[in-house]
Amino acid sequence: MPAEWERHEATWISWPRREGQSFPESYDRVLPALVSMATGIAESEILRINISGIEQEREVRGLLSSVAPMGSVEFFNIPTNEPWCRDHGPIFVTRKTSPSLAINDFGYNAWGGKYPPFGEDDAVPTVIARHFGYPLFNPGFILEGGSIDGNGAGTLLTTESCLLNPNRNPTMNRESIEQGLRDYLGVEQILWLGDGIEGDDTDGHVDDITRFVSRSTVVTAVEPDITDLNHAPLAANLELLRSMRLVDGTSLNVIEMPMPPRIDRQGLRLPASHANFYIANASILMPAFGGDSDQAAAGILSELFPDRKVIPIDCRELIWGLGAFHCLTQQQPSVF
């Protein structure tokens, strides 16, 4: 599985439905963030959008036509229940044999069965593989794309709180999960963190807390306020990261990224995090939340990716769906 910063042929997204569960009574308010995300991606690579029928395609075309380079936008009539393509979409891997690109269709159960129905989401990777004629592998266990983050050189980050949760794979232990990841993602090493952030309904996806930005460098979210419930788990993860080594013995270069201000809505804390950025071919789409941490996070990412434009996009409405840009996207590696 290539690293996210390696060249993409395309990025896949699944456009949300107005009647879906993700943005109750707020669909129109999340559209500006979705349009900005789509435009930022299409400026440097193909944007492939799963839509649920011709009427939704007309709607999305209308939203994008005046701002996005439509020559780079492709629509696919692949219905989905919800928009979180990182978790239900195809996980692409490259191969030394022809064809050089294949798709893994891990099982998907809406984060432990929390949000039925999810049958259309679960079918997405297989539908895409059949459409393009890519080889398809069925690993036979549940795995969401947001629960893992790789460096493209044999190492994968994940969390115990998610992958070891019995609501995913109750018959599998740590060793069998690790073996499955090695077999289907071509990795040698799995690095385990502990818990995720408060309000994360995925049981602690790693893409909200810690991300590889190069072979041996990670950015990790930190919360300095000791009264905040995120302080302890993020501090524990930071300590773990500082002790970790890659297969060749290289220590991780750990860059701390501040958490944004707390956001609450209707009695719920929302899982706002700058770590849920997406690395496109020419840009970094960074969730912004209206606080001082926006500028700090953008500065960190600009230093780490000097050849890409960091685009902060206001996600104070989008986060009501409990995810941001990394959750919404899935990269398709270039094989040329």
DSSP string, 204-262: --GGGTEEESSSSEEEEEE---TTSTTHHHHHHHHHHHHH-B-TTSPBPEEEEEEPPPP
Q: Which amino acid is at 331?
A: Q
Is 315 part of the annotated catalytic residue set? no
What's the full length of the chain, in residues? 336
Beta bridge partners of 74: 48
What DSSP designation does 294 have?
H
Contact call for residues 147 and 202 (beta carbons, < 8 A): yes
Dist CA 133 CA 282 (whole Å): 28
**Both structure tokens of 18:** 């107005």
Compute the C-alpha angle 208/38/149, nearest 5°.
30
Contact call for residues 282 and 43 (beta carbons, < 8 A): yes
Pick the catalytic residue: 85, 162, 315, 327? 327
| Host H or E run for residue 14 | strand 8-14
Contact call for residues 272 and 260 (beta carbons, < 8 A): yes
Closest alpha carbon to 286 in 277, 294, 275, 295? 277
**Both structure tokens of 102:** 């294949």
**Both structure tokens of 168:** 């995913």
Which sequence positions are flagged as catalytic? 327
